[in-house]
Amino acid sequence: MPRTRNRLIAAARRSMLQRAELHRRLDVAKAAFKPGALVDRGKYRVNAKIDDAAHAVRQEFRNNRLPIALAAVAGVAWLLREPIKEHAPRLTRKIQDMASAITDRLRPTDEMANETYADDGDYSEPVENDDEAVQ
């Protein structure tokens, strides 16, 4: 009878351990299916996908910088086409006015050219000093 009693005690102990393990697993499963846990798991998966996509975009940009930059500039220009059409004529007029003002400053005027070359006198005669003029 003592062997049977020891076997029953061991079986009861095993069943208690199994029951505790099942309860632990059940609690884990319950916690996993709570709305907050489901939302957190969904957020984690979405963030992981976003990180993967961002990594792929960074890698593509590193591999193809110039074409992507040109496409981005073209896209921005296309988005801003209406304001560009509206403001471009005024801007070009301002730039032309500034360029003509700069060229006018750099070129000598006709009056300055006439003053510079108007004194074509004969410099072969000696110049009198003031003290020698009339004595």
User: Which comes out higher in pLDDT, residue 98 or 111?
Assistant: 98
Assigned token pair, 117: 């070359």
Burial class (CB in 10 A: 0-12, 13-18, 19+), 91: exposed
Q: How far apart are CA 101 and CA 99, in angstroms?
A: 5
Q: How does pLDDT run across 36-82, given as a tens digit for each residue?
A: 999 999 999 999 999 999 999 999 989 999 998 999 999 999 999 99
CB 68 within 8 A of CB 61: yes
Q: How does pLDDT run across 1-33, given as a tens digit for each residue?
A: 678 999 999 999 999 999 999 999 999 999 999
Q: What is the mean pLDDT of the chain?
A: 85
Burial class (CB in 10 A: 0-12, 13-18, 19+), 69: exposed
**pTM higher than 0.85, yes or no?**
no
Domains of the chain, residue spans: 7-63, 66-107
Quick one: CA dihedral 131, 132, 134, 135, positive or negative? positive
Q: How far apart are CA 13 and CA 6, in angstroms?
A: 10
